[in-house]
């Protein structure tokens, strides 16, 4: 932790949230898909707050937030910024989230309390205890994205649409570059809390088409949608989502990635960047007795290990080099394997979800190892 971000207030330790465009926002699926509606400023404000939270924070941690930093980050120029922040805090304290659970639902405010310290330009706050697990405790899948993607968006609907589409893209984009998702119109109405008075023509004009334009202009994903009708009524929407070619980071480009397959050292570096500590398996191989499969991954330190029938197998330097050379050879001669690695494939999931593709890959592996 950065000690300069902590301050004493009496006997209490206060943590200052330091925000910037590159901060990673981390929201659980439950929050992304929960029901709530905030104005754009309140939604950006709470997103900035979330960016500064850490799992290591004490359950009673008090946070402070500089209004000046928020103004500079968002580019707000209005003279009534502090009044606007007060309105945003009112929304965060008065408009709870509705989070469905297995046994019912949870209603929780984004923050438990807030204090504005005028002479210092600070907001001091604590987060809701009920909301804490969804923000800090990694017990389920989390959506991650850079803060810079939502700051230019002026519509709260566009911000919510970005998070939903980004979540669907990250969830289903395991083996390809594009993602399709069909959602019930009523479900979208509920999640976004769209007023009942909005007809589909209103939703299309004021929400969908506006989000389509905003995301293409400002964020790292773009989308299109198709109307699906039951009879004469639109009941479902089919979204097609892909990376925004104008916003792709250099490190995600094809040229940048391909250079990692030119030699064994670069290949190992690529694997460590893509697979260290995420419990995904980039390689596999049958045991000598044919009674099991070794699934190869990298631990948090980047060391090679294998999962064999639920047991973890570690390798020394020489054994690791041998395995790396084998998988580099496969990546060098198999375009299919290279593409799967680029997408961050988890081979054990591939086997479960697309056994046909997995079997084709294993067949190609066998041909390469026998003929090269």
d(CA 286, CA 306): 12
Mean pLDDT confidence for 117-134:
84
Residues 157 and 60 in one domain: no
Residue 43's Cβ-side half-sphere holds a number of Cα atoms within 13 Å equal to 23
Lowest-pLDDT range of 215-224, 238-247, 258-267, 363-372: 258-267
Q: Is the pLDDT of residue 365 over 70?
A: yes
Q: CB of 124 within 8 A of CB of 115?
A: yes
d(CA 188, CA 181): 12
In total, how many domains does the chain have?
3
Confidence of residue 138 (pLDDT cuts 50, 70, 90): very low
d(CA 207, CA 192): 10
Residues 116 and 176 in one domain: no
Token pair 């988890």: residue = 346
Element (H, E) at 181: strand 178-184
Q: CB of 187 within 8 A of CB of 243?
A: no
pLDDT at 81: 73
pLDDT at 258: 65
d(CA 154, CA 77): 14
Residues 120 and 162 in one domain: no
d(CA 226, CA 238): 5
Beta bridge partners of 223: 241
Instruction: Give one DSSP letter per residue of 296-340, joined into a string.
Output: EEE-TTS-EEEEETTEEEE--HHHHHHHHHHHHHHHHH-HHHHHH
Q: CB of 16 within 8 A of CB of 5?
A: yes
Confidence of residue 188 (pLDDT cuts 50, 70, 90): very high
Residues 2 and 143 in one domain: yes
First to last CA, the chain: 50
Burial class (CB in 10 A: 0-12, 13-18, 19+), 348: middle
Element (H, E) at 185: helix 185-192
Full residue range of the structural domain in which residue 120 is found = 1-150
pLDDT at 248: 63
User: Where does a domain end: 247, 272, 296?
Assistant: 247
Element (H, E) at 9: strand 6-9
Q: Is the pLDDT of residue 305 over 90?
A: yes
Residues 308 and 283 in one domain: yes
d(CA 21, CA 62): 23
d(CA 299, CA 109): 37
d(CA 257, CA 274): 11
User: Where does a domain end: 247, 277, 307?
Assistant: 247
Residues 138 and 21 in one domain: yes
User: Where does a domain end: 129, 150, 171?
Assistant: 150
pLDDT at 137: 56
CATH number of residue 130's parent domain: 1.10.10.10
Residues 225 and 303 in one domain: no
Q: Is the pLDDT of residue 217 over 60?
A: yes
d(CA 262, CA 148): 33
Nearest Cα neighbor of 330 from 287, 297, 285, 291 is 285
pLDDT at 166: 92
pTM: 0.63
Q: Is the pLDDT of residue 84 over 50?
A: yes
pLDDT at 293: 92
d(CA 171, CA 340): 15
Residues 234 and 316 in one domain: no
Mean pLDDT confidence for 255-269:
77
Residues 215 and 343 in one domain: no
Residues 234 and 364 in one domain: no
Residues 89 and 12 in one domain: yes
Lowest-pLDDT range of 66-70, 73-77, 91-95, 324-328: 73-77
pLDDT at 244: 86
Residues 11 and 142 in one domain: yes
Six-digit token string for 266: 């670069």
């Amino acid at each position: 932790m950065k000690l300069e971000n902590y301050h004493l207030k009496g006997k209490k330790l206060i943590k200052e949230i330091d925000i910037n465009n590159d901060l990673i926002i981390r929201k659980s699926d439950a929050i992304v898909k929960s029901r709530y509606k905030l104005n754009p400023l309140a939604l950006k404000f709470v997103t900035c707050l979330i960016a500064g939270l850490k799992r290591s924070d004490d359950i009673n941690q008090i946070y402070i937030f500089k209004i000046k930093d928020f103004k500079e980050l968002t580019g707000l120029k209005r003279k009534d910024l502090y009044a606007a922040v007060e309105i945003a805090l009112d929304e965060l304290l008065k408009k709870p989230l509705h989070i469905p659970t297995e046994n019912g639902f949870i209603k929780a405010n984004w923050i438990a309390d807030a204090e504005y310290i005028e002479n210092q330009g600070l907001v001091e706050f604590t987060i809701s205890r009920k909301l804490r697990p969804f923000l800090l405790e990694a017990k389920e899948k989390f959506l991650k994205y850079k803060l810079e993607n939502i700051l230019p968006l002026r519509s709260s609907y566009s911000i919510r649409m970005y998070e939903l589409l980004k979540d669907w893209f990250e969830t289903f984009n395991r083996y390809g570059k594009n993602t399709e998702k069909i959602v019930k119109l009523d479900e979208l109405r509920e999640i976004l809390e769209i007023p009942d008075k909005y007809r589909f023509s209103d939703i299309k004009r004021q929400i969908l088409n506006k989000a389509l334009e905003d995301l293409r202009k400002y964020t790292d994903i773009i989308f299109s949608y198709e109307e699906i009708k039951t009879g004469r009524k639109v009941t479902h929407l089919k979204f097609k989502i892909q990376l925004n070619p104008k916003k792709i980071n250099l490190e995600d480009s094809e040229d940048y990635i391909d250079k990692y397959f030119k030699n064994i050292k670069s290949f190992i570096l690529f694997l460590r960047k893509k697979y260290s500590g995420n419990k995904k398996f980039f390689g596999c191989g049958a045991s000598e007795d044919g009674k099991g499969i070794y699934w190869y991954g990298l631990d948090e330190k980047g060391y090679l290990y294998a999962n064999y029938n639920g047991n973890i197998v570690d390798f020394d330097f020489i054994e690791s080099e041998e395995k790396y050379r084998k998988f580099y050879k496969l990546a060098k001669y198999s375009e299919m394997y290279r593409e799967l690695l680029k997408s961050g494939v988890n081979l054990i999931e591939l086997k479960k979800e697309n056994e046909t593709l997995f079997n084709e890959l294993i067949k190609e592996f066998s041909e390469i190892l026998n003929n090269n």
